[in-house]
Structure 1
């Protein structure tokens, strides 16, 4: 029985320890993958530099044509993209308003109702304050006219 318990302790102890071969395989894979990526990065950098060296004379020669053309294309693409985004946004706003008006309670409707109630309450407060000021100013004028002989 003691031999079985001792065997179980030793076998259980070996399963909890990570194997050295597993660490070696992970390290080898990481070094291989990292080295490959560094080599690919170097090739990419070299190709970019060679491409710039070969294309620079063409860019200098054609720059009076290319710069305005690139700016024009950029402005056109930007304009169409902004126009599309604004159109999509306005369509969503109209859809949201339709759902709000038809009583379907879209997202944010409760917040809008709360703001509307706050604004209406503030407007009522201003109205009552203006009425109080108007009544008080009328009392002062009437009181002042009775004192003048």
Structure 2
């Protein structure tokens, strides 16, 4: 007995795949549109209910919100500065002990350039001083 092999139809497979993708996209898109509409409605209702309270308590809430913001900003800023200072001290310790931290080559290069520039300024000042002394003796 010969077995009958079902024919694989690529167009039919592609069509069913496209229908599945479209159905999924429409279902997901519709659900998200419904959720966004419900969220918008809830937001509007919440604002309508909260507006009288916000107006009544605004003389207290606005300064309180500003105060809380400034306090939080101060804590966050001081924490950030503390973290940066800790890192800088750690980097300086590693640099001073010769462990060659990241950026040490750039620091050494800058130090050498500054030392070279200072040496050049010293040489030029001595040269200018010698010319000035010779000019003063000649007159």
TM-score scaled by structure 2? Answer: 0.89
Task: Name the CA distance, whole Å, in 2 between partners of 1:122 and 1:24.
Answer: 75
- How far off is 1:21 after superposition? 1.1
- How far off is 1:20 after superposition? 1.6
The alignment status of 1:77 with 2:72, answered yes or no, reads yes
- How far off is 1:30 after superposition? 1.3
* 1:20 corresponding residue in structure 2: 15
Task: Name the CA distance, whole Å, in 1 between partners of 2:129 and 2:13.
Answer: 88
CA RMSD in angstroms, aligned pairs only: 2.0
TM-score scaled by structure 1? Answer: 0.83
Task: Name the CA distance, whole Å, in 1 between partners of 2:13 and 2:109.
Answer: 61
Task: Name the CA distance, whole Å, in 2 between partners of 1:26 and 1:140.
Answer: 94
Task: Name the CA distance, whole Å, in 2 between partners of 1:102 and 1:50.
Answer: 64
1:5-32 superposed Cα distances (whole Å, 9 cap, x missing partner): xxxxx97x949x9722112111211121
Task: Name the CA distance, whole Å, in 1 between partners of 2:59 and 2:38.
Answer: 32
Task: Name the CA distance, whole Å, in 1 between partners of 2:97 and 2:21.
Answer: 61
Task: Name the CA distance, whole Å, in 2 between partners of 1:84 and 1:133.
Answer: 52
Task: Name the CA distance, whole Å, in 2 between partners of 1:107 and 1:18.
Answer: 58
Matches within 5 A, 1:37-52: 37-52=32-47
* 1:124 corresponding residue in structure 2: 119
Larger radius of gyration: 1
The runs of at least 4 consecutive aligned structure 1 residues that moved more than 4 Å come to: none
Secondary structure of 1:106's aligned partner: coil
Aligned residues: 133
